[in-house]
Chain A
Amino acid sequence: MSDISSANPAVSSAPLGGPVTMARALNEGLRQAMEDDPKVVIMGEDVGRLGGVFRITDGLQKDFGEDRVIDTPLAESAIIGTAVGLALRGYRPVCEIQFDGFVFPGFDQIVSQVAKIHNRAAGLVRMPITIRIPFGGGIGAIEHHSESPETYFAHTPGLRVVSCSSPSDAYWMIQEAIASDDPVVFFEPKRQYHAAKLPIEPAGTPLDQARVVRPGRDVTVVAYGPTVATALTAAETLKVDGVEAEVIDLRSMSPLDMPTLLDSVRRTGRMVIVHEAPQSFGIGSEIAARVTEQAFYSLEAPVLRVTGFDTPYPPSRLEHDWLPNLDRLLDAVDRIMEF
């Protein structure tokens, strides 16, 4: 196990060596975290021999052994609940929830235990647990396989909630999440797993910071996870019409990096937030409320939200209409520019 890097030199040099997919970047990030800290264990359904249904943990059990990459019984509450016990024993568990819609059997353990134990113990114990959840739609899946449940967790004090949108962020953020002494719910945009090969940057951005991924002066578009790609495409399209959109990758939904958001909207005067999760009480709603409270006199127009509708996730033949796609985002930007 100690000879992994020498046995497989491609693995240790790949992240910084050439472009990789997000799936590969996550795999390499997990591998690095396991090499850096022997207390890191990966647990979940099919994560071992199979390497996960998305192959994010591919090869890790072979290299780190069954004690560190654990194929668990099929019980989400137990995946989370036993991670609590492992954390008490000094381990740093990384739980994989197979699909977004399967997190709810583990919801009680996440919100009532993982999120609260540090507080319950008056700070005397820590819960360094990472909960990885592939999320979002657009892959033609059946029910429960395309959801965006991030709001439930962002609403829960004690959790950090983040999402990556690029291979480089995936690589760095998963390592930061695992190193965090707070519990982190880590949302991976499954549609982006194999979307593009991109280089890994030499260093990451702190986990709780948003990032301006494209500067612009006319309108701020806030996205995270799968919608960052949509926002960047929209910005390219808008440029043709002479509209310079600033795209912010939120990265952290809890806590929210308000200074970055406020700095941008004070310059542009307009903000559109785009996410796949249903609209009401969502991340966009919270950002709109805070921007209204803290930058009211900078706003040229009401903050707009482009989101999934307040309906159950639709059957897959309808998902591309339901999802906040490029057309709906461009329409919103048109409206906010004309306001």
Chain B
Amino acid sequence: MTEHVRAVHPEPNMVQLLTPEGQRVEHPDYPLDITDDEIAALYRDLVLVRRIDSEAIALQRQGELGLWASLLGQEAAQIGSGRALKRHDMAFPTYREHGVAWCRDVDALTLLGLYRGTNLGGWDPLANNFNLYTIVIGAQTLHATGYAMGVVRDGAVGTGDPERDTAVLAFFGDGASSQGDVNEAFVWAGAGNLPIVFFCQNNQWAISEPVERQSRVPLFQRAAGFGFPGVRVDGNDVLACLAVTRKHLDNARNAQGPSLIEAFTYRMNPHTTNDDPRRYRALSEAETWKLKDPIERVRAYLTREARVEPEFFAAVEAESLEMAEYVRAGCRAIPDPTPESVFDNVYVDLPDELREQREEFASFVKSVSA
């Protein structure tokens, strides 16, 4: 395999507010007014979602989950964008946005059902304004676009009332950027001046295919052809992701139309627990990206610049241990659904023909278990 580090050289104009070494830097277009306490809170978010992720991987190894799609390396992109949302904004995730779910106050255990195989999602998208995970890549960008059409029709955009003006945040990846649905979503959002921010986590790899297989141009530049702004942000910099997403969500709420944010990051783990990246990428690539770790730079800043006491880090670590125990125990306690439940919620009211199938199935199950 060719040893190359093509994925680690972003465009020089990539927005960064916190260097990999933990130095605060400024960007003229994206000022960020943030206190050290708020940065410490982001650090806690990052650590806890990484902990949820690593516990889920362990649970998959133990057979408690059938599969897991790890977010390792993408915590900053997800926490930064997730914390930019207001409560009444709507987020449309892929299947990897565990960090965004955390920001939307979705219980970690809620995410496990579909990976454990006990349900297909099973949460109310409107309960926390966090849509169901969508596995067909890119499909949700159209759902987000339609939701934004609804926001416009509700008059919930550009009123100047911060409690009313609403934005939509649509997540997708570098692989999905090739999907027709994503491009159709760009067309509609542009033509309709919709209040939506497309947030692409370019983690460099669509399973085994590098981003060069998807695009001849940097992904954020695609926005120009659709008539709205595109920006590349350091996806491992939680402050930059927060500032950039916040600004573009504000633009959306203020009726200034859609934007595309490309968060330049790296999928440190396999695509899912079933994947083996040794077959398609050099280990050295991940080693290089480790130096850009999204958590270490925040810790370095908090330690050196903000002079945060060691007790804070110890408290976060203790909390993450509690979280790990919560996820472990909670996952094992998720019961298997009953066989007959496959007939639930296919339709709002069960049609007679399905009722008959359910009864047949139930009596069959009973007869073989008797």
A interface, CB within 8 angstroms of B: 41, 67-68, 70, 72-73, 75, 77-78, 80-91, 93, 105, 108-109, 112-113, 116-126, 157-158, 160, 181-182, 208, 255-256, 258-259
For the A-B complex, the count of residue pairs with Cβ-Cβ distances under 8 Å equals 145
| Most chain B Cβ neighbours within 10 Å, of A81, A113, A123 | A81
8 Å CB contact of B347 from A83, A113, A182: A182
The answer for the CA separation of A157 and B188 in the assembled complex, in Å, is 29
Q: Which residues of B contact A82 (CB under 8 A)?
A: 142-143, 145-146, 149, 188
Q: How far is the CB of B185 from chain A (nearest CB, A)?
A: 7
Q: How far is the CB of B1 from chain A (nearest CB, A)?
A: 35
What 20 new A-B contacts, CB under 8 Å, besides A81-B141, A158-B346?
Answer: A73-B188, A75-B180, A78-B145, A78-B181, A78-B185, A82-B188, A85-B144, A85-B146, A86-B147, A88-B125, A88-B150, A89-B146, A89-B150, A91-B150, A109-B181, A122-B119, A124-B123, A208-B351, A256-B353, A259-B352
If A89-B147, A256-B353 touch, does A81 touch B139 (CB 8 Å cutoff)?
yes
- Is B322 close to A, CB under 8 A? no
A-contacting residues, B108-149, CB 8 Å: 119-127, 131-132, 134, 136, 139, 141-149
13 A–B pairs (Cβ distance < 8 Å), ordered by A: A72-B188, A73-B187, A84-B142, A84-B143, A86-B146, A105-B180, A109-B139, A120-B120, A120-B121, A121-B122, A182-B347, A208-B351, A255-B352
A122 pairs with B184, CB closer than 8 A: no
Q: Which residues of B contact A255 (CB under 8 A)?
A: 351-354
Q: Which residues of A contact B141 (CB under 8 A)?
A: 81
The answer for the CA separation of A80 and B185 in the assembled complex, in Å, is 11
B interface, CB within 8 angstroms of A: 90, 119-127, 131-132, 134, 136, 139, 141-154, 180-181, 184-185, 187-188, 191, 344-348, 351-354
A41 pairs with B153, CB closer than 8 A: yes
Chain B residue with Cβ nearest A257: B352
A81 pairs with B184, CB closer than 8 A: yes
Interface of chain A: mostly helix, strand, loop or mixed: mixed
Chain A residue with Cβ nearest B155: A67
8 Å CB contact of B124 from A87, A93, A109, A125: A125
The answer for the CA separation of A160 and B90 in the assembled complex, in Å, is 29
Q: Which residues of A contact B142 (CB under 8 A)?
A: 77-78, 80-82, 84-85, 109
Q: Which residues of B contact A87 (CB under 8 A)?
A: 146
Q: Which residues of A contact B353 (CB under 8 A)?
A: 255-256, 258
The answer for the CA separation of A81 and B124 in the assembled complex, in Å, is 19
The answer for the CA separation of A301 and B152 in the assembled complex, in Å, is 59
